[in-house]
Every structure is written in structure tokens, then in C-alpha cells.
Amino acid sequence: MKNITNLIINNNLKLKERVTIMAVNYKLYQCKREGRFLGKWYARAVHNGVVGTDELAEIMQRNCTVKKSDIKAVLTELVEVMQDELQNSKRVRIDGLGSFKLGISSLAAPTAKEYTIAKHVKRVHVLFMPETKIDAGSHKRSKVLVNGAKLAELTNYDVKKTDAAAPDKKEVGQ
């Protein structure tokens, strides 16, 4: 697959490389769980690495006039402020990215009087809702982070693309 390099002109009228667009890689897998989906084929995203704060700051520095150290400082402070605001029962919305909020997983209590945090709360977790845009013509919602995403099947993994029947139930548990 070809890499497509986008070029942009910055404010100084210099041409610079901005981003290399590849694709979201996937591989096929066959469902092995009991039920109506047994033997059906699905795509599963395959990730080929992690981009950390240092790498993000380096890329961002190349795309704007802000230094890597300043970007890292802002991102570090963003995490700390988000933690504070989330723990103050606020939602945190980052334009162009989405909203974050805290959720609680808990067990049921027979009565409200018997409910205790220590006994019934299993965990506190972060929920993320990606930003969406609504198309004026179709009124359909689309998630900003996946707009324009391209998919490409991995070529170096083992899967038989035959129209075989669902696997035998004996094989499923093995």
C-alpha cells in the first residue's frame, strides 16, 4: 500500500511535511463463542505500536511554532487538571477530541440503607465519548477521530478465507 504524504504551506510560506496517512490495519477472526455468532467472521483492528507523549510532542513541534518542551509541559498539566476536575464530578470536554467523565461500577444492595461504598463499589473508571459532528444534509452523526479512516487487511497472518461451515463444537473448547 502506498503512503500518501500531505504537504501544507505554513504561515512563513515554507513547504513542510505534515503527516503520512496509512491505514487502520485489521485481520479477520472467526467467532468461537457458543451461540448464533459461532463460526462467523469479523474484522479486528491490529495495532503496531504506541505513540507516547515524547513522540506526540516531537511531531507537534514540527507542525507548529511551539517547542517540544512547552508541549510536554502543557500535556502534563492537562492530565493533572483533568484528574482534578473529573474528581470534582465535572465532565471534561476537549474540543476536537471528545468528553471524559468518571463512572462507577458497583454491586447491588438489597436496600439503600445496606449500601456502603466499601462493600458495594467495585471500581471508579474513566468514560470517553468521542466528539461527533452532524452532517447538515443527511443529519448523520460522525466521530471526528475516525473521519476519513482507511482500512487495510494485514497480509502476513494465517487465515483460511474459505466458506467453511461453523467449527465443530468439539473444536471450539480446545
The whole-angstrom separation of Cα 106 and Cα 123 is 7
Domain boundaries, the chain: 1-46+154-174, 51-88, 91-146
Residue range 26-34: mean pLDDT, rounded: 94
Query: Which tens digit of pLDDT belongs to each residue from 54-85?
Result: 999 999 999 999 999 999 999 999 999 999 99
Task: Answer with the residue of higher pLDDT: 107 or 21.
Answer: 107
In this prediction the pTM is: 0.71
Query: Which tens digit of pLDDT belongs to each residue from 113-136?
Result: 999 999 999 999 999 999 999 988
